[in-house]
Amino acid sequence: MTGSISTAFFALPAALLYLFGAYRQWQTLNNKKEANKTLVLALGTCAGIIHALLLAGSVVQHGGFNFGFFNVGIFISLVISLLVIISSISKPLENLLIGVFPMAALIILVDSVTPGSDKVSQLTGGLGWHIILSILAYSILVIAAIQAILLYLQNKQLKSHKTSGLIKALPPLQTMDALLFEMIWIGMVLLTASFVIGWPYIIDIQGQHLLHKTALSIMSWLVFAVLLFGRFNFGWRGITASRLTLVGTGFLILAYFGSKFVLELVL
């Protein structure tokens, strides 16, 4: 379905709705219009529904699942968008959508014009759960990384004694910090569960081209484990927490997308 007319039929409306939602929230952030959280979330929800239809047609093929490079990208971007939309209903996270929505739109548009992988997999129950848990973990930790960037900028502005701009638009520093570690805890639980479930399926780590992916995933897990240990024992927060979150997420992105990019698009 990738690159076909039917893909473009879903891709363009979804991308436009995401971009309009991000632009509307950006207007609020820059005091150009009054906040309209309901409109922004409604636009994102409509985009998410179309995004899900696009995903269903791309991933489910010939009685199996196509987890090619770009298909996984649109899967993760959908999960990230929906998680932030749902969380924004009860928590002050809507400004994250300014970054999340354009990212989802870009991935959808690139996917619609890029030839996809024809490799279709028949998944057993355990391997299917491993993939689902991994995608959920990646999605939550990417959201945590975006939160970490905002927290880093917020700390920098506070240290420079600036009280306008980003500082005024974001929730209090303590709330931002608590939200960051809440995401990291959830992401770590899901990532650990995906490791436990997926480990029995590693038969030949080199023959299955899993060496780099496994090593980088473990490095990511260790970074987040050190961060949580430091938080519990030494009260790490602020810039230190933001930097380690970005390092851990960077390893995780390289583990999955770096490996798939080389195997599917380079080799």
pLDDT tens digits along 164-190: 666 666 778 888 898 899 999 999 999
Q: What is 194-210 written as a DSSP string? A: HHHHHGGG-S-TTTTT-
Q: Give per-residue pLDDT as tens, 83-120.
A: 999 989 988 888 889 989 999 999 899 888 776 555 55
pLDDT at 238 exceeding the cut of 80: yes
Q: Give per-residue pLDDT as tens, 58-72.
A: 766 655 566 666 677
pLDDT at 131 exceeding the cut of 60: yes
99 by Cβ neighbours in 10 Å (0-12 / 13-18 / 19+) ranks as: middle
User: How far, in Å, CA of 118 to CA of 252, rounded?
Assistant: 25
Highest-pLDDT range among 4-13, 17-26, 47-56, 194-203:
17-26
Residue 106's pLDDT is 93
User: How far, in Å, CA of 179 to CA of 171, rounded?
Assistant: 10
Over pLDDT 70: what percentage of the chain?
A: 78
Neighbours of 47 (CB within 10 A): 27
Residue 3's pLDDT is 44
Average pLDDT, the chain: 82
Neighbours of 30 (CB within 10 A): 10
pLDDT-derived band at 20, boundaries 50, 70, 90: very high
Helix (H) or strand (E) holding 64: strand 64-65
Closest by alpha carbon to 178, among 128, 235, 135, 137? 235
Please give the structure tokens belonging to residue 54: 């696009």
In degrees and rounded to multiples of 5, residue 235 shows phi and psi of 70, 30
Residues 6+ apart with CB under 8 A from 99: 22, 146
Q: What is the mean pLDDT of residues 4-10?
A: 63
User: How far, in Å, CA of 221 to CA of 256, rounded?
Assistant: 13
Q: Is the dihedral of CA 148, 149, 155, 158 positive or negative?
A: negative
pLDDT at 207 exceeding the cut of 50: yes
pLDDT at 45 exceeding the cut of 90: yes
Residue 243's pLDDT is 95
Residue 2's pLDDT is 43
Residue 209's pLDDT is 60
Residue 264's pLDDT is 47
Q: What is the mean pLDDT of residues 186-203?
A: 88
pLDDT-derived band at 135, boundaries 50, 70, 90: confident
Residue 251's pLDDT is 94
pLDDT-derived band at 163, boundaries 50, 70, 90: low
pLDDT at 267 exceeding the cut of 50: no
Residue 205's pLDDT is 64
Highest-pLDDT range among 48-52, 95-99, 159-163, 176-180:
48-52
